[in-house]
Amino acid sequence: MRIAELQWEVERGGKPGGTTLAMTFRIPQSAIRILVALWRLNVAEELQYRANFVASLLGTTFWIGTALLTLAVFFRHTTRLGDWDYWEVVVLLGVFNTLTGVIEAVLRPGIGRLAGEVKSGGLDLVLAKPVDAQGFVSFRRLDVWRLTDVVLGLTLAGYALHRLGRVPSVVQLAAFGLALAAAVVVVYALWVALMSLAFWFVSVENLSVLFDAVYEGARYPVSAYPGALRFVFVYLIPIAWTTTIPASALTGRLEPGFALVAAAVAGVAFALTRLLWRTALKRYSGASG
Amino acid sequence: MTRTVDWLRRYGALLRAAWLQDLQYRASIVLWLLWGVTEPAVALGIWWAIAADGPVQGYARADFARYFFALMLVNQLTIAWDSWYLDSWIREGELNFRLARPIHPAHEAVAENLAYKARTAGMILVVWLIVAAAWPAVRLPFGAGRWALTAAAVLLAAALRFFISFATGLLAFWTTRATAIMELHAGISLFLSGRLAPLALLPPAVARVAGFLWFPYMLAFPVDLLTGAVHGAALLQGFVGQVVWLAVWVGAYRLAWTRGLRRYGAVGG
């Protein structure tokens, strides 16, 4: 029995009068209800382990400290990195940390577990549910304490902006908001694309390591890298859009209108990974007994 | 004599088991390898950009390239994941059957390290040779004596990192955050062991602090030896430092092992 097909049947039947196109991004109201229910459960669970909050806070502070010291070492020997000065790179670091928060709170505990489930056949249980499998796999968990990274990251970006002596206009802030939202979508698309490989390479349980390897490049502005690598980071593995673009929008390095380009890139990335996910899922035939 | 033969047989069996186990997870191992080389690759990219206008305190672009290629290799040869293994062995009760065997569990860990490192460092070496064929910057001058010294320093560094990782992992007898302590150690070693930059490029005060601790002997010293940056008195001092800190960490391991086992209440079946 092709479980992937079964899942689509269930979904089609579940929507009264729904004309299901091959690519619908419509979010039914029930999906939001399910999401809220799942996350409320997660939060209630996490609230029992408040020590984790302190551990998470200490971990993030330590990480930000390490990253700032790293920059200090580089800037002992230069005044600009890829034509960015110190505090501009710190703004970027703040964006990086904000996205890290989203990754650690939602993506790693959710879609990050996909490879293991494809191997063990645990995905059967997901596909048997009358919900969108990609959505469920991606957003089923919320490790709420890791959202401290988002708060600390935005604070850091704000402080660096203050040190730069720049007060962003409303338009710039809006552009930053849009670019940051686009960055979240691009990060999500990268996770889906990399984790979908699990359907081809079933035995690789640590696939999420591949994301960490790629994302390591996003710690610095892409202009700091040699030309060929820069091309890769903008067009092929689009990590330039995760940190460099939102940080540029905030510091006024880019025209606010460029945020629309970022949004378009995010849209394309999302559509492509949605397509990839469907293709990948067709390869799945279940493994559990 | 028979004792030596016995040990060779034991290690033969352990190595074979570890090698076959890794073979099963070879795709995962390639990913860990990739993950391991991205940090030095990104650092090289940044230093490459900084050195565009000329050498940085005597380090030209080619020097950075050689340094970080050597770092990738030495890091892979000396890395030790044992904290993570021990943490799960102790917490999940997987230590029990290992204690019941007539051989100390550390030998299994040593064999695993040898098998893993032979495989992964071999891969790095092949890639390095291919890159060096096209890119003269990363070629190392041949020197049999220097390579022999480097091999000795790498061996000592691998032993040092093994005992640091093993001893820290044993903290799982007392706390559930042993791996967090190891990550803290990794964060500090980013600077003090030379993973981010050659120690000469750190602020002098930081480099001096590093000199009083074990960190430079884990990586920076064998890397500098391989690239040819260490000479004369510094060479001797490096080896002395490695031996002294190795002795200290072996002591720490023995203390943690004997004390820890005494309070170990086995979990699981």
Query: Does B202 contact A219 at a Cβ distance shorter than 8 Å?
Result: no
Kindly give the confidence (pLDDT) of every residue in chain B, 269 residues in length, as a single tens digit, with 9 standing for 90 and above: 788 999 999 999 999 999 999 888 888 889 999 999 999 999 999 999 999 989 999 999 999 999 999 999 999 999 999 999 999 999 888 898 899 888 999 999 999 999 999 999 999 999 999 999 998 888 887 788 889 999 999 999 999 999 999 999 999 999 888 889 999 999 999 999 999 999 999 999 999 999 999 999 999 999 999 998 898 899 999 999 999 999 999 999 999 999 998 888 765 54
Q: Model confidence at A26, in pLDDT bands (50, 70, 90)? A: low
**Would you say residue A3 has pLDDT above 70?**
no
User: In this complex, do A216 and B38 lie within 8 Å of one another by their Cβ atoms?
Assistant: yes
Q: Which of A81, A204, A233 to mutate to test the interface with B (most CBs of B within 10 A)?
A: A204
Structure pTM?
0.88
Q: pLDDT at position A97, please?
A: 96
- Candidates A62, A76, A210; nearest CB to B203: A76
pLDDT at A28: 67
Question: For position B25, what pLDDT does the model report?
Answer: 85
Unique residue bearing structure tokens 């806070």: A57
* Nearest CA-CA partner of B188 in B154, B214, B225, B156: B214
* ipTM > 0.85 (yes/no): yes
pLDDT on residue A1: 39
User: What is the arithmetic mean of pLDDT over A162-181?
Assistant: 94
Q: What integer pLDDT is reported at residue A34 of this predicted model?
A: 87
Higher-confidence position of A21 and A122: A122
Confidence (pLDDT) at A17: 43
Q: Residue B240 and residue B247: Cα distance in Å, rounded?
A: 11
Q: Return the residue of A nearest to B56 by Cα.
A: A77
Interface test with B, best of A52, A64, A66 (most B CBs within 10 A): A66
B79 assigned to some structural domain: yes
pLDDT of residue A202: 80
Number of domains within chain B: 1
Residue with the larger pLDDT of the pair A118 and B149: B149
Hey, what are B39's tokens? 């940090």
Percent of chain A whose pLDDT exceeds 90 = 53
pLDDT of residue A13: 42
Residue spans of the domains in chain A: they are 3-8+30-282
Domain interval for residue B83: 11-263
B204 C-beta neighbours (distance < 10 Å), count: 9
Tokens linked to A198: 């699990």
Q: Is residue B43 in a domain? A: yes
The pLDDT, as a whole number, for residue A19 is 46
Quick one: pLDDT at residue A48?
A: 84
Predicted confidence (pLDDT) at residue A18 exceeds the cutoff of 60: no
Question: What is the rounded distance in angstroms from the CA atom of residue A152 to the CA atom of residue A49?
Answer: 21
Residue B5 lies in a domain: no
* Pairwise CB contact (< 8 Å): A220 & B48: no
pLDDT of residue A11: 47
**What is the Cα–Cα distance from A38 to A33, expressed in whole angstroms?**
9
Which SS3 state, helix, strand or coil, does residue A77 take? Answer: coil
Which of A62, A73, A224 is closest, CB to CB, to B202?
A73
B156, part of any domain: yes
